Structure 1
Amino acid sequence: MAPLTEAPRDGAEERARGSAFDRLWRGFMTARTTIALVLTVLLGALHTLAPALGVTRWLIGLCAGYLLVALAGRVFFVPAPPGRTFDRQWLPTAGADLLAISTLQFLQVASINYSPLFALPVLMSAVLGSSVAALATAAGVALLLLVDVWIQIPHLAPESTELPSRFLQAGLTGVGYFALAFLVNQLAARLAREEQAALRGRRAARTHAQVNELVIEALSEGVLVVDASGRVHAANPAARMLLGLADVASQSSFALAAQAGWEPLRELARQTFELRGPQLRELALDEPAAGRRRMHVRTRLTEESYGEGLCVMFLHDLREMEARLRTEKLAAMGRMSAAVAHEIRNPLAAIAQANALLEEDLREPGLRQLSALVRKNAQRLAQIVEEILDVSRARAAAGGSPPLALDASVAAACKDWAAQTGSGPRLQLSLGAPGVRVRFEPDHLRRVLVNLLDNALRYCGERPDSIRVLTRESADQVNLHVWSDGEPMEASVQRHLFEPFFTSESRSSGLGLFICRELCERHGATMAYQRRIGGTVGTQREGNDFVVTFGPLNARATGNTTFDKINA
């Protein structure tokens, strides 16, 4: 998408270029050149064909010089907007016109009246110059006309009655030029104001259009603009992704009839135009690659004031809506669970303490068995409470933890876990990241590793290499693998593997993997599951692999990385 348009610069050339005054300027310059050319050719022809009229060569030279000045102004002068900027160019333009025309008028060569040509500099000053320049030019023309009549006084008879009429005619012509200059200057000023207002409105409209386009492009909701024939004129990236066009080259428009799976959208657009009102539907689109996709679709009609109306369709994937709703429910459930866990922790501790005191006085085997059952379930409840509270505690974990040696920490945690569970014969340890420190809380890393090992022990076999813990260092990251040779998980289990309170075991809280992932994310790491080949050489087989990936190596120098290399 094109970036926002930059406002034009304040230079005279930038303001005038492409405007109406630019065209007026060039029109006046062309008119000056044409008049100068006509005068040169006309006087040259009179000098050659009618020498008795008294057209001298220096008059032809004057017209030729006027033609050169006009050509230079047409070629080299910069188009100027109206106002004071024109004052600097008045002398070589309107001033040159007044000089040339007044000289020809004073001489009255071949009895030609050149006074109508004074309209050109007056109009040019009124349109392209300031009001002062326009009125000054009109005043100069009026004075020149009066001077011309005064010069002719010696050539008139004393008893002639033409003198008053000539002064009256010159005065009326001057007044006419004054009125012409004032009216044209006011019209030009109004045109300039309207053009500037139109320019500002066009710039604002362009800016708003580009901002709207940016907003629509960034919307997560799909937007389609469809006409009455079912042709799409615009579609944002979200809509193209929902229609399966994300990998297709962008097109200016396409038809909804191009694919059979889009027929519900085409039918909904047709109903919107027929009913002349907004529609709301849940549709199912069949896509060859993605299968059946359910969508929530809203339609709106644009006004027909400026042409054919269009239908705007807003598409939303129902799976995203359901996922968002599920996330909100889980967040509310988590807050409620944390509050409940916090409230029952103290009563539960009192029950466990009372049961321990009671157990000291029990002698009958049956009562001691019941007391052991109470103790076991109280411990289970206490563990569930701690796991629920750990979800909120994990959110407060900071990223500034002191670095710890990964291989040494993994080895110590695996050794303690094997001693507590007696699973040492089934555990193999392969440490491939020597000299790497990870920024992770030691207790949190131990908890993540122990939880993954407990899950692996629950589903693994009895072979000596049924559980493998590996650390690997690559060019830009370090991975911690916990692999076991358990049976593959069902697809439904994999989809909800890291969700809170989801478990396939009746005696599990379903918070273990969720808390592990939360702890990893709080320390800048990630956790994922994959099905891959593992085991020792000669006995390799498929198994379940949980991978913890620490951050990039190339950011180590900043001091805020997930892991750092130990200096030798």
Structure 2
Amino acid sequence: MAAAPFDSVLQESGASQESAFVRLWLGFATARVAIGLSVLLLLIGSRLLGPQTVSGWLIGLCGTYLAAALAVRLFVRPPDPGAPFDPQWVSSIGVDLLVFSCLQFLQAGGIYYAPLFAVPVLMASVLGSSLLALGTAAAVALLLLAEAWVLALQSPVDLAPRFLQAGLSGIGFFALAFLAHQLALRLAREEAAAAQGRRAALMQIRVNQLVIETLADGVLVVDLSGQVQAANPAARELLGAGARQRRPLLAQPAWAPLASMAQRTFDTGEPQVSDVAIPHDDAVRRMVVRTRLAAAGDQPGDSLCVVFLQDLREMEARLRTEKLAAMGRMSTAVAHEIRNPLAAISQANDLLEEELQDPGQRQLSALVRQNAQRLSRIVEEILDVARVQHQSAAPGQVRPEFDPAVRACCQDWTDQNHSGGQLQLVLEAPGQVIAFEPDHLRRLLVNLLDNALRYASSASDAIQVETTVDGAAPVLTVWSDGAALEPAVERHLFEPFFSSESRSSGLGLYICRELCERHGASIGYRRGPSPRGDGRAGNAFFVAFRTTSPMAATAAFAKMTA
């Protein structure tokens, strides 16, 4: 019986306040109190009624033992099981050996006390190491042999039977120590395995909870009575604040379809799938609902129904995003293939136009040139999307001064589009420096101005560009007096290849959004008054730039969209 394996197993078992070894220690401590009380009462009874005289100091010894055993039971904490030696063993096993030896040697009251040695032997074997168990059994055997030797000195009669009895009793205590220690080893291994299983189960529960909490789909766990046992954040978002634990599904009439599907799952044991419309915040939310039965035991009432909720809007949005991504990849490949033939067409048309003299033919050549230029712009915009998606904001980039950069970009744009009469500048952010590459700022502003020109009127101030400082973030606003956007158009403004007119590629605003995301800026749209404050309503695209703190742009964007 080696001590090391027992010690390692006991360390694995945990030995907490719920450990079986703690309960065994408490049992032994209680047994010591009962033994002390029983022996004290027997000696007192023998002194008062028995024919033999019992010494008063033996009664005092038993009283002291009872007090010590009671103090250990009430005030001493359980020792670590498997320890080869602990000071507590002196107050328990050591005291037992001393007191029981005195009683056995003196044969107080004519009682045979040798069986009481089983208590310290068992206590050392179950709660101590193998060394302590064998040492305690050896000490008991030596005490019994010493007693036999003392009795032999006093009376040489029956010498052999006395030593034989002492030897057999010693062997019995060794066997008891060995068997008890083996049982303790097995108990320790089983307790360690149970503790490891509990830890693994707890870890699995935590992992499952983490996965469920982070799922984009809603998850409800419902019992047979319709009570919601668990709901993840996505489910609470889809169903509202009422979807909380220990709340019946029938508590709200809007959840009746969910309760009906859960009940069918319990009745049939088969999964259910259905499209459900549930009112939520003055609107109807459509979702795909799937149910699965989780059998937790043999009894029907032990099963749980897991309800999965999937928002159809998010499904459609993901599908649309995947389609757009695939379309973008295909468009980029097509643009590369079109670019070279388109350049050849443009060059050939330019050479042909030099030889043409007939006005009708020159008009047709101009029409070819205009459409070739339009196709070239579309190709460049498609390729710009690919370039923006593969670019990253370089560290140490040039930080342009806000107002001068906006003024220069607007001047170049008006010169190119001959639209100076329609554009008005309101620059009110002097000295501001933004974290945005100058070339990207130019592309951003040109795309916003092109979009504004497409829908603006011909008035002298139909397009207005304003720079302001909101808190710590510079804000650029491009306003035009165009008609209000339809809600369906507004929802998809910054998606690629989306446009309300056939002659646009639908990539301008998408490129603006990509550029802003690259530089930590935020772009948005709102319907609002003109920056000049003349009372006209129009369409305003605003960009909150980052200076040094990313939170500044975020706070400004939130304020603009409020």
- TM-score, structure 2 normalization: 0.89
**Alpha-carbon separation, structure 1, partners of 2:235 and 2:508:** 38
The Cα of 1:370 is off from its aligned counterpart by: 0.8
The Cα of 1:345 is off from its aligned counterpart by: 0.7
The Cα of 1:188 is off from its aligned counterpart by: 1.4
Residue 532 of structure 2 corresponds to residue 540 of structure 1:
no
Q: Name 1:280's counterpart in structure 2.
A: 273
**Aligned equivalent of 1:198, options 194, 197, 200:** 194
- The answer to whether the 8 Å contact 2:13/2:191 transfers is no
**Alpha-carbon separation, structure 2, partners of 1:197 and 1:362:** 95
- The answer to whether the 8 Å contact 2:480/2:538 transfers is yes
**Alpha-carbon separation, structure 2, partners of 1:266 and 1:65:** 70
**Counterpart residue identity of residue 83, structure 1:** G
Q: Quickly say closer, same or farther: Cα 1:254–1:555, change in 2 above 3 A.
A: closer
**Aligned equivalent of 2:462, options 460, 466, 474:** 466
**Alpha-carbon separation, structure 2, partners of 1:371 and 1:498:** 35
Tell me which moved more, 55-64 or 342-351: 55-64
- The answer to whether the 8 Å contact 2:13/2:188 transfers is no
Residue 132 of structure 2 corresponds to residue 139 of structure 1:
no
**Alpha-carbon separation, structure 1, partners of 2:419 and 2:153:** 135
CA deviation profile, 1:385-418 (whole Å, cap 9, x unmatched): 1111110011233312311111101011122223
Tell me which moved more, 364-373 or 73-82: 73-82
- The answer to whether the 8 Å contact 2:84/2:128 transfers is yes
**Alpha-carbon separation, structure 1, partners of 2:16 and 2:246:** 37
Q: How does 1:128-527 map to 2 (within 5 A)?
A: 128-156=127-155, 162-245=158-241, 248=242, 251-281=244-274, 283-305=275-297, 307=299, 308-400=302-394, 401-527=397-523
Instruction: Report the 3-state secondary structure (helix = DSSP H, G, I; strand = E; otherwise coil) of the residue aligned with 1:430.
Output: strand
Residue 550 of structure 2 corresponds to residue 551 of structure 1:
no
* Matched positions, count: 540
CA deviation profile, 1:91-110 (whole Å, cap 9, x unmatched): 33212211111111111233
Q: Quickly say closer, same or farther: Cα 1:555–1:72, change in 2 above 3 A.
A: same
Instruction: Report the 3-state secondary structure (helix = DSSP H, G, I; strand = E; otherwise coil) of the residue aligned with 1:483.
Output: strand
Q: Name 1:125's counterpart in structure 2.
A: 124
Instruction: Report the 3-state secondary structure (helix = DSSP H, G, I; strand = E; otherwise coil) of the residue aligned with 1:113.
Output: coil
Once the two structures are aligned, what percentage of the paired residues are identical? 57
The Cα of 1:229 is off from its aligned counterpart by: 3.3
Tell me which moved more, 37-46 or 206-215: 37-46
CA deviation profile, 1:443-479 (whole Å, cap 9, x unmatched): 2211221222222223233444332211111223221
Instruction: Report the 3-state secondary structure (helix = DSSP H, G, I; strand = E; otherwise coil) of the residue aligned with 1:18.
Output: coil
Instruction: Report the 3-state secondary structure (helix = DSSP H, G, I; strand = E; otherwise coil) of the residue aligned with 1:15.
Output: coil
Q: Quickly say closer, same or farther: Cα 1:18–1:488, change in 2 above 3 A.
A: same
- The answer to whether the 8 Å contact 1:529/1:546 transfers is yes
- The answer to whether the 8 Å contact 1:142/1:171 transfers is yes
CA deviation profile, 1:32-81 (whole Å, cap 9, x unmatched): 2343344445546666x479844334334433443454345335544224
Residue 69 of structure 2 corresponds to residue 70 of structure 1:
yes
- TM-score, structure 1 normalization: 0.88
Q: Name 2:5's counterpart in structure 1.
A: none
**Alpha-carbon separation, structure 2, partners of 1:235 and 1:498:** 34
Residue 25 of structure 2 corresponds to residue 25 of structure 1:
yes
Tell me which moved more, 428-437 or 199-208: 428-437
CA deviation profile, 1:151-208 (whole Å, cap 9, x unmatched): 223554x6x5x55444443333333222222221111111111111111111111111
Q: Quickly say closer, same or farther: Cα 1:86–1:299, change in 2 above 3 A.
A: farther
Instruction: Report the 3-state secondary structure (helix = DSSP H, G, I; strand = E; otherwise coil) of the residue aligned with 1:439.
Output: coil
**Counterpart residue identity of residue 305, structure 1:** G
Q: Quickly say closer, same or farther: Cα 1:119–1:208, change in 2 above 3 A.
A: same
**Counterpart residue identity of residue 83, structure 2:** R
**Alpha-carbon separation, structure 2, partners of 1:221 and 1:16:** 40
CA deviation profile, 1:413-454 (whole Å, cap 9, x unmatched): 122223333433332212122111122222221122122222
**Alpha-carbon separation, structure 2, partners of 1:154 and 1:515:** 111
Q: Name 1:100's counterpart in structure 2.
A: 99
Q: Quickly say closer, same or farther: Cα 1:99–1:535, change in 2 above 3 A.
A: closer
Tell me which moved more, 72-81 or 350-359: 72-81
- The answer to whether the 8 Å contact 2:141/2:170 transfers is yes
Q: How does 1:27-46 map to 2 (within 5 A)?
A: 27-40=27-40, 42-43=42-43
Q: Which runs of 5+ in 2 are unaligned?
A: 1-9, 557-562
**Counterpart residue identity of residue 167, structure 2:** G
Q: Name 1:6's counterpart in structure 2.
A: none
- The answer to whether the 8 Å contact 2:435/2:547 transfers is no
- The answer to whether the 8 Å contact 1:244/1:287 transfers is no
Q: Quickly say closer, same or farther: Cα 1:372–1:13, change in 2 above 3 A.
A: closer
The Cα of 1:338 is off from its aligned counterpart by: 0.7
Tell me which moved more, 174-183 or 475-484: 174-183
**Alpha-carbon separation, structure 2, partners of 1:96 and 1:42:** 20
**Alpha-carbon separation, structure 2, partners of 1:12 and 1:86:** 19
**Counterpart residue identity of residue 148, structure 2:** V
- The answer to whether the 8 Å contact 1:535/1:541 transfers is no
**Alpha-carbon separation, structure 2, partners of 1:251 and 1:284:** 20
The Cα of 1:332 is off from its aligned counterpart by: 0.8
- The answer to whether the 8 Å contact 1:399/1:439 transfers is no
Q: Which runs of 5+ in 1 are unaligned?
A: 1-9, 563-568
The Cα of 1:296 is off from its aligned counterpart by: 1.9
| Aligned-CA RMSD value | 2.7
The Cα of 1:150 is off from its aligned counterpart by: 2.8
Instruction: Report the 3-state secondary structure (helix = DSSP H, G, I; strand = E; otherwise coil) of the residue aligned with 1:436.
Output: coil
- The answer to whether the 8 Å contact 1:233/1:253 transfers is yes
- The answer to whether the 8 Å contact 2:494/2:510 transfers is yes
The Cα of 1:354 is off from its aligned counterpart by: 0.8
Q: Name 2:4's counterpart in structure 1.
A: none
**Alpha-carbon separation, structure 2, partners of 1:97 and 1:335:** 86
**Alpha-carbon separation, structure 1, partners of 2:316 and 2:271:** 24
CA deviation profile, 1:236-284 (whole Å, cap 9, x unmatched): 1111211123xx5x73222221222222222222222233222333x12
Q: Quickly say closer, same or farther: Cα 1:188–1:545, change in 2 above 3 A.
A: same
- The answer to whether the 8 Å contact 1:279/1:300 transfers is yes
